[in-house]
Amino acid sequence: MAGLAQTTINKINQVYNVWGTKIPAEFTPRNVLIFCVIALLCIGSVMVASASMPYADRLHENAFHYVIRHGISILVAATAAFLTYKVSLNIWFNNTFPLWLMTILLLAVVLVVGTEVNGSTRWIRIAGFTLQASEVAKVMMAIFTADYVVRRAEEVRNNLSGLFRLGGVMVITVGLILAEPDLGATAVIVLMILGVFFLAGAPPIQFMGFMLAIILGLAAAIIFEPYRLQRALSFTDPWADPLGTGYQLSNALMAFGRGEWAGVGLGHSIQKMAYLPEAHTDFMLAILGEEFGFFGIATVLALSFTMLVCCIKIGHRALQHQYLRAGYLAYGISIIFLLQILVNAGMNMGMLPTKGLTLPFISYGGSSLIMCAVMISLILKIDATTQKANPSKEESSF
């Protein structure tokens, strides 16, 4: 299993090396990553303004309500990214257990004093703004898992205790998230852990056992909650109940249909006029498709996947230079971004069930935006501190 993972990574690197020689020296993964993030932020800000104004005017009697809040979120995200970059990677890796305990405490606080929205208790209100604890959990679990698979490398590769220890931490974390409930964040965290566990060289038996347990757990979470099963099946035929379970998806598909190739123009969306609920959040891509058509969607997805490739490249170089924790953290973050992009795009287009996952740097959502900025800051920190081979292989020079 480890050999297959390494072979796949080596093939990706070989392709990059062949084409990399033809790329100008200024087009480094770091520079391209920063460009993609800024471009996505600009597009997202414009689309938040366009998609939220009718909703904000009707609900808050202020068309710029969400635009102002989004601007504040960007400033907070930039500050959080700056502070994260200033912290040594060793500080994060040397304090994974306290960070995990803080995450568990935060998730527990949500269940006690959290604010309920649409049947889910996922947010803590702080000074008029909300914090979504599951977004924090994604980042903390990526750091925890990256440290764990290196610190417990022998157990991960040769002993079932490595699987059980990590599985126990995962069950406690996702159990609290499922209690909110938030199946989307649960799936992202679980699959991220599984991906890093695979890349760290877990033997086939452990990997397959881990994957089987995850599949059974997710299946049980869907089957034993009727609304989850209903939502999971509604995407297959949203027109069967267009005013009920298929309402969001049917309106999203109509938005895509109106957009065609070039879109109807910025601000001219019909679906955002109270047809597609809270269009500035999870279904932002549908409004973007209506206003900018296929070319707009292709641009956003191209920028998103280019950002993802840069994260993977930085992680691969870290592993090559023997910064194992940093490399696995970069891969964990890459998996989180990949899942959010695929799931958000898939649910907007009717290819996946509706889940509350935002499109990174595009959708409205302060907690998501801040945590995405923190993850990008961690990637940039990894890039800055793993440029040369690690002479000691002890990762003490972060």
CA distance linking residue 307 with residue 4, whole number of Å = 25
At residue 6, the pLDDT reads 59
> Are the beta carbons of 395 and 93 closer than 8 angstroms?
yes
CA distance linking residue 126 with residue 246, whole number of Å = 34
At residue 201, the pLDDT reads 79
> Are the beta carbons of 175 and 190 closer than 8 angstroms?
no
Q: Mean pLDDT of all residues in the chain? A: 83
At residue 85, the pLDDT reads 95
Q: How far, CA to CA in Å, does 90 sit from each of 31, 233, 378, 397?
A: 24, 45, 12, 8
CA distance linking residue 234 with residue 247, whole number of Å = 10
SS (H, E, C) 244-260: CCCHHHHHHHHHHHHHC
Is pTM beyond 0.85? Reply is yes
Place of tokens 């269009």: 279
CA distance linking residue 210 with residue 194, whole number of Å = 7
**Contacts of the segment 170-173: beta carbons below 8 A, 24+ positions apart:** 170/141, 172/104, 173/100, 173/103, 173/104, 173/107, 173/137, 173/141
* Domain parsing of the chain, residue ranges: 8-92+243-382, 95-224
Tokens of residue 18, six digits: 């062949």
Strand 120-126 and strand 129-132: pairing? antiparallel
At residue 137, the pLDDT reads 93
- Burial status of residue 64 (CB atoms within 10 A of its CB: 0-12, 13-18, 19 or more): middle
> Are the beta carbons of 185 and 138 closer than 8 angstroms?
yes
At residue 12, the pLDDT reads 62
Transcribe 48-103 into DSSP letters.
HHHHHHHHHHHHHS-TTHHHHHHHHHHHHHHHHHHHHHHS-HHHHHTTHHHHHHHH
Phi and psi angles of residue 225, each rounded to the nearest 5 degrees, phi first: -120, 105
3-state SS class at 363: coil
Which comes out higher in pLDDT, residue 356 or 284?
A: 284
> Are the beta carbons of 177 and 107 closer than 8 angstroms?
yes
State yes or no: pLDDT of 35 exceeds 80.
yes
> Are the beta carbons of 369 and 79 closer than 8 angstroms?
no
pLDDT digits (tens, 9 = 90+) for 209-246: 777 877 787 677 666 666 666 666 666 666 666 666 66
Q: H or E stretch including 395? A: none
pLDDT digits (tens, 9 = 90+) for 52-103: 888 888 878 888 888 899 999 999 999 999 999 999 999 999 999 999 999 9
> Are the beta carbons of 347 and 340 closer than 8 angstroms?
no
State yes or no: pLDDT of 397 exceeds 50.
no
- Burial status of residue 3 (CB atoms within 10 A of its CB: 0-12, 13-18, 19 or more): exposed
CA distance linking residue 17 with residue 276, whole number of Å = 45
pLDDT digits (tens, 9 = 90+) for 105-140: 999 988 888 777 666 777 788 766 788 888 999 999
Q: How far is CA 88 from the centre of its chain?
A: 23
**Widest Cα–Cα separation across the chain:** 62
CA distance linking residue 39 with residue 303, whole number of Å = 8
Closest by CA position to 356, among listed 288, 300, 294, 284: 284
The set of residues, in sequence order, having a beta carbon less than 8 Å from that of 25 and lying 6+ positions away, is: none
